[in-house]
């Protein structure tokens, strides 16, 4: 194997492992707040505020990546994200806030830089590479709670052992070359422009896609945040309440991504998004309204809910980039970074605060109220354009590699 191929596979392996570790850390807070019997409303505010500021910094870190700091942001992001493993050593809500904020900042540093690195790898199969990269994050998020609870149980609460893989990854790669350093990367690269975002938001079509994506992503994060409380309150076995149900939900979305992309190409993104919103609403309320289900029935139902809800964001991004092919980077930033900042705040903060309105099965009832976002999403999705043609003149040939 020549040196170019060696660097290629090594780079892909590094960002895949890094993606697994970062998203694993993101999934710890929802289950830990249930294990530690924390106030759900306060935990929701912590989640929303930290995600808004931490993940919102993707715009800043993306600009730094283009200016030549990509490798350091990737490695630093993985290590900083491990702050979640230290939740067990405090009972102070301010400390919880600071630790989770560090995790979100680590995630905000890692994701745009790692995605950029994957996009620069010398291969014509860019879609496949991005799918492989995304699979690391999906698997890490799916297994996050199972791994955390397992380590917490087997090491008597010493969850700092979960920092070790990130440190090893950093030590292995810090003095080695990975990725392809493009010749046009410069420390004089332009900073991210908020004017570009405001200009795009003047387009009705991108606004409809944006609000549809926000509705779907808000429900995704609301389920992730409240699910451990719902399953625990309803008396499911601990392996389901503290990790198993979450894993089924996330894996459902991961498995459905490729078929959803196929159907979006064959029919249309709009039809797939509307179908996902309608089916997600029906399946979620089925779960909420039938509290007595067998272990495997509830896992299958959660798998189906995840399969519907989790595809809305990626299909929305695909639609946005098709409508505005000249501004793919800006559209992706809006429909990922900007949309996820708002949706994590809505799904987790408002979801947590709504639990204060109820006394019995509060988490389930809060999620049921928040489910009205499905109807909002269906209304905005119905306004999406039927034809997925570029809405702006293509001034230069779009290069596909």
DSSP type of residue 66: I
Separation of alpha carbons 113 and 325, rounded Å: 21
Separation of alpha carbons 217 and 211, rounded Å: 10
Token pair listed for 133: 């990269």
Of residues 255 and 194, the one with the higher pLDDT is 255
* Residue 76 burial (CB count, 10 A): 18
Contact 149, 237 (CB under 8 A): no
Separation of alpha carbons 219 and 376, rounded Å: 11
Separation of alpha carbons 274 and 217, rounded Å: 14
Which pLDDT tens digit goes with each residue over 218-260?
Answer: 999 999 999 999 999 999 999 999 999 999 999 998 888 878 8
331, pLDDT greater than 90: no
Q: 398 pLDDT band (50/70/90 cuts)?
A: very low
Q: 189 pLDDT band (50/70/90 cuts)?
A: very low
DSSP conformation letters of 329-377:
HHHHHIIIIIHHHHHHIIIIIIHHHHGGG-SSSHHHHHHHHHTHHHHHH
Contact 39, 159 (CB under 8 A): no
**pLDDT at position 27, please?**
93
**pLDDT at position 316, please?**
86
**pLDDT at position 400, please?**
33
Share of the chain above pLDDT 90, in %: 50
The residues, any chain, with a CB within 8 Å of residue 137's CB and separated by 6 or more, are: 19, 20, 22, 23
Q: Which domains are seen in the chain, by residue range?
A: 1-176 (1.20.1250.20), 194-390 (1.20.1250.20)
Residue 204 DSSP SS3: helix
202, pLDDT greater than 60: yes
Separation of alpha carbons 234 and 186, rounded Å: 55
392, pLDDT greater than 60: no
Separation of alpha carbons 116 and 329, rounded Å: 11
Contact 221, 212 (CB under 8 A): no
User: What pTM was estimated for this model as a whole?
Assistant: 0.87
* Residue 286 burial (CB count, 10 A): 13
Which pLDDT tens digit goes with each residue over 337-379?
Answer: 778 888 988 999 999 999 999 988 899 999 999 999 999 999 9
Q: 190 pLDDT band (50/70/90 cuts)?
A: very low
**pLDDT at position 345, please?**
85
Q: Which H, E and C letters describe 305-321, residue by residue?
A: HHHHHCCHHHHHHHHHH
The mean pLDDT of the chain is: 84
**pLDDT at position 341, please?**
82
């Amino acid at each position: 194997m020549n040196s170019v191929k060696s660097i290629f596979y090594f780079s892909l392996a590094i960002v895949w492992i890094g993606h697994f570790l970062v998203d694993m850390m993101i999934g710890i807070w929802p289950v830990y707040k249930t294990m530690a019997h924390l106030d759900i409303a306060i935990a929701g505010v912590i989640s929303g505020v930290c995600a808004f500021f931490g993940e919102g910094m993707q715009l800043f870190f993306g600009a730094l990546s283009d200016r030549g700091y990509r490798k350091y942001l990737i490695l630093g992001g993985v290590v900083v994200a491990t702050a979640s493993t230290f939740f067990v050593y405090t009972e102070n809500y301010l400390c919880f806030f600071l630790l989770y904020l560090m995790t979100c900042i680590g995630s905000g540093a890692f994701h745009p830089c790692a995605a950029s690195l994957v996009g620069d790898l010398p291969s014509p199969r860019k879609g496949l590479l991005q799918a492989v990269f995304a699979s690391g994050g999906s698997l890490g998020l799916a297994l996050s709670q199972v791994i955390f609870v397992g380590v917490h149980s087997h090491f008597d609460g010493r969850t700092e052992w979960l920092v070790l893989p990130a440190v090893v990854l950093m030590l292995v790669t810090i003095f080695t070359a990975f990725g392809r350093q493009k010749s046009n990367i410069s420390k004089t690269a332009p900073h991210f422009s908020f004017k570009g975002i405001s200009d795009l938001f003047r387009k009705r079509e991108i606004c409809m896609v944006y609000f549809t994506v926000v509705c779907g992503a808000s429900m995704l994060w609301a389920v992730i945040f409240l699910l451990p409380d719902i399953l625990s309150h309803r008396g499911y076995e601990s392996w389901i309440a503290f990790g198993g149900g979450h894993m089924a939900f996330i894996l459902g979305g991961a498995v459905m991504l490729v078929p959803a992309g196929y159907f979006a190409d064959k029919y249309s993104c709009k039809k797939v998004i509307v179908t996902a919103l309608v089916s997600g609403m029906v399946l979620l309320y089925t779960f909420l309204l039938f509290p007595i289900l067998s272990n495997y029935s509830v896992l299958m139902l959660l798998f189906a809910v995840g399969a519907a809800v989790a595809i809305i964001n990626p299909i929305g991004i695909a639609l946005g980039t098709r409508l505005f092919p000249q501004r793919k980077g800006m559209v992706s930033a809006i429909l990922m970074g900007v949309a996820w900042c708002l949706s994590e705040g809505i799904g987790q903060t408002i979801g947590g605060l709504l639990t204060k309105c109820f006394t019995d099965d509060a988490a389930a009832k809060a999620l049921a109220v928040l489910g009205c976002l499905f109807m909002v999403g269906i209304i905005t999705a119905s306004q999406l354009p039927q034809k997925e043609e570029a809405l702006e003149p293509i001034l230069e040939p779009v290069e596909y590699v």
